[in-house]
Amino acid sequence: MDKLNTGRHISGKFNDELDAVRTQVMNMGGLVEQQLRDSLVAIENSDHELAEQVLQRDYKINALEVQIDEACVQIIAKRQPAASDLRLIIAIFKTIADLERIGDEAERIARVALESFNNDQQQFLVSLENLGQQVLAMLHGVLDAFARMDLDSAYEVHQMDAQADRQYEGLTRQLMTYMMEDPRGIPKVMNVLWSARSLERIGDRCQNIAEYIIFFVKGKDVRHVSPESMARTVGRPQPKQED
């Protein structure tokens, strides 16, 4: 076999390995998304059985993280990727770490679903559900963006986090007011508060994954940059300055 064909063979094998790893990431992401969705349904319907299923499935996410991690290490050792291939591997390493932590947060939310709440406290579960749907949309969107390495979709998810933060802050104020008015409900309401915090963190994790996608596509690290710099990187109009 001549050198040219050998190069093509090696390149083809390399691409197959990268595609296999990306498929594993999407499988992991799908499981994480299902965990979050089931946790929210369990809270909404006070479904203890579904909450228990979420708790029992968490190990699968952890196992996938380890498998993907090992596969990436093997690719680096064998192929010594450079340029965009190396950026993809780095993006995958970071993405699976955030997905694993999203799975942990979904598990915490499921534990709240095992609690019982009185009629007065049900209103906070509705607000929690609204925040949950916003964050679930972010997770679905960023996984879709990762599958296609879609710059525009990643940027849209990144911008959605501000709305999730506002919902979280509003719910936190509601919960604080309720606890001051009725101290007897503090233990249960604190559980709702911790769930809201978990959802807010999931939103942040989705924003992180969006940044990894931008890093892969553009080759620029956009963590901790200004909104204006982010917009320039992805080729979007500059955000308007508030008076």
pLDDT exceeds cutoff 80 at 10: no
- Burial of 116 per CB tally in 10 Å (0-12, 13-18, 19+): exposed
pLDDT digits (tens, 9 = 90+) for 54-90: 999 999 999 999 999 999 999 999 988 888 899 999 9
Q: Running DSSP on this structure, what letter comes out for residue 109?
A: H
In sequence order, the 6+-apart residues with CB closer than 8 A to the CB of 235 are: none
Which single residue is written with the structure tokens 């604190």?
190
In this prediction, residue 122 carries a pLDDT of: 75
CA 97 – CA 116 distance, rounded (Å): 32
What tokens does 138 get? 């972010």
CA 132 – CA 196 distance, rounded (Å): 8
In this prediction, residue 240 carries a pLDDT of: 63
Which single residue is written with the structure tokens 């993280």?
65
pLDDT tier, 239 (very low <50, low <70, confident <90, very high otherwise): low
Contact at 8 Å (CB) between 202 and 102?
A: yes
Tell me the Ramachandran region of residue 166: left when phi exceeds 0, alpha when psi lies from -120 to 50, beta otherwise. alpha
CA 195 – CA 199 distance, rounded (Å): 6
Which single residue is written with the structure tokens 């992401």?
29
149 three-state secondary structure: coil
For residue 99, which of 203, 20, 28 has the smallest C-alpha distance? 28
Q: How far is CA 97 from CA 39, 64, 209, in A?
A: 20, 11, 10
Kindly report the average pLDDT of the chain as a whole number. Answer: 90
pLDDT digits (tens, 9 = 90+) for 163-176: 999 999 999 998 89
In this prediction, residue 108 carries a pLDDT of: 94
Question: Letter for the amino acid at 182?
Answer: D
Question: Letter for the amino acid at 39?
Answer: S
Task: Calculate mean pLDDT across residues 166-194.
Answer: 88
First-to-final CA distance of the chain: 68
Question: Letter for the amino acid at 85?
Answer: D
For residue 99, which of 36, 20, 17, 18 has the smallest C-alpha distance? 36
For residue 179, which of 131, 117, 121 has the smallest C-alpha distance? 121
CA dihedral 98, 103, 109, 113 (to 10 degrees): 170
